[in-house]
Amino acid sequence: MCGIAGLLTGANNMAADQRQTVVRTMCDAIAHRGPDGSGIWDDADNGICFGHLRLAIIDLSSAGAQPMASDDGSVIVTYNGEIYHFAELRAELEAAGRRFRGHSDTEVIANGIAHWGIEGLCKRIGGMFAIAVWIPADRMFFLVRDRLGKKPLYWTKMANGGLAFASELAALHCVPGLDRSIDRKAAASFLRTGHVPEPLSIYEKVKKVGGGEILAFGPDLELRSTTRYWSVEASIAAARDKPRLDTLDSAVAATEIVLNDAVAQRMIADVPYGAFLSGGIDSSLVVALMQQQLREPVKTFSIGYANSSLDESEDAEMVAKHLGTDHRTFILNAEDAIDTIHNLPRLYSEPFADPSQIPTCVISRMAREHVTLVLTGDGGDEVFAGYNRHIASAGLMAKLDALPGFAQGALTGTMRALSPAAWDKLFDLAPGNIGPRQPGENAQAGGAAGAGSVGSVPPIYQPVGQL
């Protein structure tokens, strides 16, 4: 994790020393994102200042420091993230005559934009990233975010007509005259979904760059265009045109190849790394693939709870023993949770209601004592329908389609009317073990899924044989 921030004020709206001071203050506000170094680049003629905070993962030398220029100086970038297959792209660029000073993925981004253009590079790179780009010859500025929006990127127009951007809202708080009026639509979305969806932020005048988007700003610093270089819909449509795997065995073999490659790419680092291990299918699979590719034990970390109904640490320890990892478990207590809660506003910038945020913060703090980065199983359940409610929702929505509209609304409304705790108590009264684990959470999620998708069953919930 790194941090980026910057101002584009124009040469006459703010003095260079003042602009640099503001950007340094912005970087100080998010210093936790980059403990290994910081850098400032300023173009006084055009009134631009980029800042960067570095968490060094690849090329720990000064050759990997940012902000960074391409080999010919035609592109300036400041970037947060990681490009997983940068070595292959670098080989292409070197064959085309591009020169490299070090071996960081940042150089691949800068030289790749100079060679292929921004959209051309974005269609080639895989990873997680937030990139700010200045093209001096065209006096054009760009903000770019990875396909699924894993790395955060906020931007806002300044009171003096300038533009500010940063990895977190905390950095934008340092921008003179920032309008912090609450966006009512964002607040409503948070109350409905538990987060503030892009392009909104909790502030009406601050926006997020969308996942898979390139924002282009002209010399006047006005937004010229928004280009979507990737989308889930387009990816699914393209996949449908490809030959389908005709047997389950061939599908399993192809999936294993993809997963092995994905894990291997994420293990390229010049620092110690490990993995979170919950004992579930997703994180266990990631750790198994990691251990398969390493001679030494993978360092794994898990969280346990005093409440046995929520505790999965024993499952994680069984998996760790089976795979032979170097495993550590941290038991989360009430004091740890309370201490962490105080830091959540600083860490997440805006309202965020993921129930796993507290244990994630605690286990991250524990893991940082031993490694610099970790792999996780996040996203696996969403891709492979790993939660019980994913399977249950498929049957629920298929049955809802057969009901009249008023009945559909009544049923899903009933499921959501009771709190998770109330559902849990109802299942406690039932004889035997007839319900899912955490039935209240599943009932609420199933009701929400049904309410949001009545009338059609999303393809991701259909049985594998129908895809």
Label residues 67-82 b or e (16+ Cβ within 10 Å = b).
bbbbbeebbbbbbbbb
Neighbours of 18 (CB within 10 A): 14
Q: Catalytic: 2?
A: yes
Two structure tokens written together for 210: 């969308």
Contact by Cβ (8 Å): 278, 304: no
Spatial CA neighbour of 337 closest among 317, 365, 314, 378: 365
The CB-side HSE value for 55 (13 A sphere, CA atoms) comes to 19
Q: For residues 374 and 299, what is the distance between their CA atoms, to the nearest angstrom?
A: 9
Name the one residue in this structure whose structure tokens are 């003179």: 176
**CB-count exposure of residue 131 (10 Å: 0-12, 13-18, 19+):** buried
Question: Among 2, 122, 174, 361, which one carries the catalytic annotation?
Answer: 2
Tokens of 344: 């959540």
Instruction: List the strands of the sheet with 206-208, edge to edge.
Output: 38-43, 48-53, 3-8, 163-166, 154-157, 206-208
Q: Decide: helix, strand or coil at residue 223.
A: strand
| Cβ(383)–Cβ(403) below 8 Å | no
Tell me which residues are annotated as active site.
2
